[in-house]
Amino acid sequence: MEVIRHDVVLVGGGGAGLRAAIAVAEADPELTVACLSKVYPMRSHTVSAEGGAAAVAREDDSPELHAYDTVRGSDYLADQDAVELFVEEAPIELTRLEHWGCPWSREEDGRIAVRAFGGMSVERTWFAADKTGFHMLHSLFQTSLKYENIVRLDETFVTRLLVEDGRVRGVVALDLRTGSARAVLGRAVVLATGGAGRIFPFTTNAAIKTGDGMALAYRAGVPLKDMEFVQYHPTGLPGTGILITEASRGEGGVLLNANGERYLERYVPNKMELGPRDMLARAAILEFQAERGFKGTYGPYVHLDLTHLGEAKIDERLPFVRELAIHYVGIDPVKEPIPVRPVVHYMMGGIDTDGNGATELPGLYAAGECASVSINGANRLGSNSLSECLVFGARAGRAAAAFAREVDDRNEPAVPEQARDEEGRIEALRGKSGGERIVDLRREMTSAMERGCGVFREEDEARHTLQTVAQLKGRYTDLGLEDRSRVFNTEIVSALELGHMLDVAEAVALAALERKESRGSHTRTDFPARDDENFLKHTLVRFAPQGPKLDDKPVTITRWQPEERKY
């Protein structure tokens, strides 16, 4: 088995991963960084981000206000020390990105343009038309090419963390081009593997968002935090789940039900279309339940009307929205409203880290959507995530570099054996005989997740989902695979991803069952009120061979005492 050695091993070539890679390379030119990605980096989900990235830019704004909006948006579950770091560093990171080539849209007078986003008190979302993620990722990628000490291993699928003596030692990965396993050893490992929207049937997330890094950390004993908090975006296209960015509402788009009413007056009268996502998603479902939605092939939907914005503004500010609506639902938003419905978009939860991305496992760091720092708490504000990837990607990269410089212990006798075991596990999947099919288990998992862990949740369904996922894990051991080939064996990848998703889904279901209150995106119909006395705490889910174990940890409150969340 091929063994490669670097100082820092970075898993993920999206916004957080590339930012971390550059941070390591800048921190110390002597360190080498291996950047592993299961797809070519430009195919990471960050590329599809549309609306923008939040950071204080104007005189009417301040870090305090950005922090307050974020904390309130999180329903007081965010760690306020992390939020304070975040709002201070976000403008620095976005400015740096411009120096690296990101073409931020500008006002006539030359200042950076900012747009309104949900739950933000003032306009603070920087954007590059409505293709922000595309431009950000290109700028990061180009910059990463400058550094000779960043070594890319594209199309390399990480399947396991190597751990010895309570420290991470590297990873095992499948080289998709050859079908061979490799050990990539390093003194520090940074996970930047993105979210896990694919555990649900209807999502904006790319097919690659299968929670791999979360499952890798979890299996290595690192807890997952606040997994019950799953963000539904209020405006996805029915059928495909393709996102129609919040920027369309930031630019003035309105939501209408089948009676032509701006129904948000009933739910978030002061903020309307710029209310936070959790509230807007619930409002749409309640309209459907009251039979005030339109009826379509893919279930009920509402209208997002942009027609009053006019062609010139739509083409300048929202060209991608127009393109998507024309291509995917045959509707030109200049002339007609777009059909939309709530869709799974983002995981607030993830690998438990501190403000430097450090996990409980020495040498292991995490950043971006796979991590929970946590600045998002129970509900993320749109446009905070791209900035989060930069701020905490950079911090995790610097911390990993410092760790790698300090430890130089190559005494790792058990590592080769662990790596060979893992190689054996992967090989056993090739053409494995068994009675279960990936597609069936996957479909049963996603529909169970929607039933028990959707926008509205209650005890019996959540428990049923948890039991279903546990049973699916049992059936997973009897998986049958047909493809014996070595080169780009996507069936093996799907099997490995399904294994990761089942772990993540189980953590979500357990956390959703046990949080007996409603907070942010987590709405329990049987416990409709927020309960600070018993639940102002982070949920932790820990791996145990007999099934996941629940734990918790306090929320850090610095300046903003919890109060009722009203908009």
Ligand X SMILES: Cc1cc2nc3c(=O)[nH]c(=O)nc-3n(C[C@H](O)[C@H](O)[C@H](O)COP(=O)(O)OP(=O)(O)OC[C@H]3O[C@@H](n4cnc5c(N)ncnc54)[C@H](O)[C@@H]3O)c2cc1C
Q: How far apart are CA 81 and CA 557, in angstroms?
A: 7
Site string for ligand X, 383-422 (x = CB under 6 A): xxxx--x---------------------------------
Residue 169 C-beta: closest distance to ligand X, Å: 17
Instruction: Quote the DSSP letter at residue 553.
Output: E
Q: How far apart are CA 136 and CA 390, in angstroms?
A: 10
Indicate which single residue of 16, 22, 366, 448 sits in contact with ligand X (rule: CB under 6 A). 16
Residues 6, 135, 249, 524: which is the catalytic one? Answer: 249
Residue 53 C-beta: closest distance to ligand X, Å: 6
* 445 three-class SS: helix
CA distances from 342 to 38, 232, 237, 331, 475 (A): 29, 6, 9, 19, 31
Residue 534 C-beta: closest distance to ligand X, Å: 30
Q: Which is nearer to ligand X, 51 or 452 (CB)?
A: 51
Q: Which is nearer to ligand X, 91 or 194 (CB)?
A: 194
Q: How far apart are CA 450 and CA 516, in angstroms?
A: 18
User: Segment near ligand X (CB under 6 A), from 44-52, 278-286, 323-331, 416-424?
Assistant: 44-52
* 260 three-class SS: coil
Instruction: Quote the DSSP letter at residue 113.
Output: P
- Residue 11 in contact with ligand X, rule: CB under 6 A: yes
Catalogue the E-assigned strands of 82-236.
Answer: 114-115, 125-126, 150-154, 156-164, 167-175, 180-185, 188-191, 224-225, 230-236
Is the sign of the CA dihedral 188, 192, 198, 199 positive or negative? positive
Catalytic, 249? Answer: yes
Indicate which single residue of 6, 8, 17, 281 sits in contact with ligand X (rule: CB under 6 A). 17
Site string for ligand X, 157-196 (x = CB under 6 A): xx---------------------------------xxxx-
Spatial strand order of the sheet with 364-366 comes to 150-154, 33-37, 8-11, 188-191, 364-366
Site string for ligand X, 428-447 (x = CB under 6 A): --------------------
Footprint of ligand X on 224-283 (CB under 6 A)? 243, 245
Residue 298 C-beta: closest distance to ligand X, Å: 18
Footprint of ligand X on 342-371 (CB under 6 A)? 346, 368-370
Residue 535 C-beta: closest distance to ligand X, Å: 25
Q: How far apart are CA 485 and CA 151, in angstroms?
A: 27
Q: How far apart are CA 245 and CA 250, in angstroms?
A: 9
Interface with ligand X (CB under 6 A), residue total 46
Catalytic, 437? Answer: no
Given phi > 0 = left and psi -120 to 50 = alpha, else beta, which region is 514?
Answer: alpha
Q: Which is nearer to ligand X, 133 or 397 (CB)?
A: 133
* 21 three-class SS: helix
Q: Which is nearer to ligand X, 333 or 393 (CB)?
A: 393
Q: How far apart are CA 394 and CA 24, in angstroms?
A: 8
Residue 248 C-beta: closest distance to ligand X, Å: 11
Residue 544 C-beta: closest distance to ligand X, Å: 23
Residues 152, 182, 233, 538: which is the catalytic one? Answer: 233
Residue 273: partners with Cβ closer than 8 Å, 6 or more residues away: 118, 249, 253, 254, 255, 264, 280
Distance from chain centroid for Cα 537? 21
Indicate which single residue of 119, 133, 241, 349 sits in contact with ligand X (rule: CB under 6 A). 133
User: Segment near ligand X (CB under 6 A), from 31-39, 62-70, 357-365, 513-521?
Assistant: 31-39
User: Segment near ligand X (CB under 6 A), from 208-216, 260-268, 278-286, 349-357?
Assistant: 208-216
Cβ distance 265 to 366 under 8 Å?
A: no
Indicate which single residue of 132, 231, 248, 374 sits in contact with ligand X (rule: CB under 6 A). 132
Indicate which single residue of 33, 36, 183, 449 sits in contact with ligand X (rule: CB under 6 A). 36
Indicate which single residue of 74, 80, 144, 205 sits in contact with ligand X (rule: CB under 6 A). 205
Q: How far apart are CA 126 and CA 83, in angstroms?
A: 18
Q: How far apart are CA 67 and CA 556, in angstroms?
A: 14
Residue 259 C-beta: closest distance to ligand X, Å: 30
Residue 191 C-beta: closest distance to ligand X, Å: 8
Active site residues: 233, 249
Binding site for ligand X (CB under 6 A): 11-17, 36-39, 41, 44-46, 48-53, 132-133, 157-158, 192-195, 204-205, 208-209, 212-213, 243, 245, 346, 368-370, 383-386, 389
